């Protein structure tokens, strides 16, 4: 059975070609966060690769890196890189696990994978306002904002793709706009306009967007009347498996009790002290 398409790649590429540097501010934030993570690793990477839909920005940020498009098949050679960054593109992928698997295969042993993508509550205000407006005017809904993955689900992709030591975290960026047109302008400059394969090919009536602006202002504005737009940036970190990496101990192999380390007494579910010979079902109080 063929996987349903999320993204119209022709439309997405057209939107990206029209993107402008004024829309790079979220890429700036993502880059700063990624650089901080790289500093924490305290390792020098000499063979980096970037997977992105905004090659202009990321090529400038990592001039020594190989920069490739986030097509279904990534133009990366196996084990050719010690660092692969998937930069603000994974949310448009029809097969995000496949993207991560290809990135892992492109890493040498103990190579680092970093990804940042939109997820969580990103553009939930716009999604809700458009849905209410369209339902009232047209009696139904058309997909207008891409579905966003949750942190837990996206973090699970790392394990499914075979990465070691997986970590997922998120930061929220709230942007304030004077009106909904300014938000639409930023989305155009980002190359993040509607490129869903299931979108309605018929242009909606203009009054739908004017009604959406009213809904937005009524429910998602700050005390000064500015419109809030949420962008959740989800960061994924994983390592290509290597024999040199630390391994978790086998359950039950510990030689020191946690209670001894903490200087406390272990109790069972009936609050009886637990001896060395009976340590099942314990809590530390």
Amino acid 141: pLDDT: 80
SS3 240: coil
Amino acid 254: pLDDT: 61
Domains along the chain with CATH numbers = 9-239 (3.40.50.150), 250-285 (no CATH)
Averages of pLDDT over runs of 10 residues in the chain (285 residues) are 83 97 97 96 95 97 97 97 98 97 98 98 97 89 90 96 96 97 97 93 87 96 96 98 73 62 61 49 32
Q: Tokens in use for 255?
A: 């030689």
Amino acid 276: pLDDT: 45
Which string of DSSP letters, residue by residue, matches 60-114?
Answer: HH-TTSEEE---SS----TT-EEEEEEES-GGG-S-HHHHHHHHHHHEEEEEEEE
Partners of residue 196 on adjacent β-strands:
7
């Amino acid at each position: 059975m063929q996987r349903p398409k999320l993204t119209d790649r022709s439309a997405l590429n057209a939107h990206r070609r029209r993107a402008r540097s004024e829309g790079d501010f979220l890429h700036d934030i993502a880059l700063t966060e990624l650089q901080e993570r790289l500093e924490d690793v305290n390792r020098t990477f000499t063979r980096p690769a970037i997977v992105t839909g905004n090659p202009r920005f990321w090529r400038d940020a990592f001039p020594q890196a190989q920069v490739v498009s986030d097509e279904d098949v990534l133009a990366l050679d196996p084990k050719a890189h010690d660092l692969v960054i998937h930069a603000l593109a994974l949310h448009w992928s029809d097969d995000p696990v496949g993207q991560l698997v290809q990135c892992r295969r492109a890493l040498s042993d103990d190579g680092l994978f970093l990804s940042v993508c939109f997820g969580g509550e990103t553009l939930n205000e716009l999604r809700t306002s458009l849905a209410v407006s369209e339902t009232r005017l047209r009696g139904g809904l058309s997909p207008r904002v891409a579905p966003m993955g949750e942190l837990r689900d996206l973090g699970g992709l790392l394990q499914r793709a075979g990465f070691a030591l997986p970590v997922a975290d998120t930061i929220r960026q709230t942007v304030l706009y004077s009106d909904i047109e300014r938000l639409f302008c930023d989305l155009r400059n980002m190359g993040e306009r509607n490129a869903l394969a299931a979108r309605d090919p018929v242009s909606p009536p203009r009054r739908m967007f004017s009604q959406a602006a009213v809904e937005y202002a009524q429910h998602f504005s700050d005390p000064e009347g500015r419109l809030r737009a949420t962008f959740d940036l989800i960061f994924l970190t994983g390592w290509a498996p290597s024999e040199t990496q630390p391994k978790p101990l086998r359950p039950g192999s510990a030689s020191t009790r946690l209670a001894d380390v903490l200087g406390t007494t272990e109790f069972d579910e009936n609050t009886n002290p637990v001896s060395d010979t009976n340590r099942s079902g314990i809590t530390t109080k």
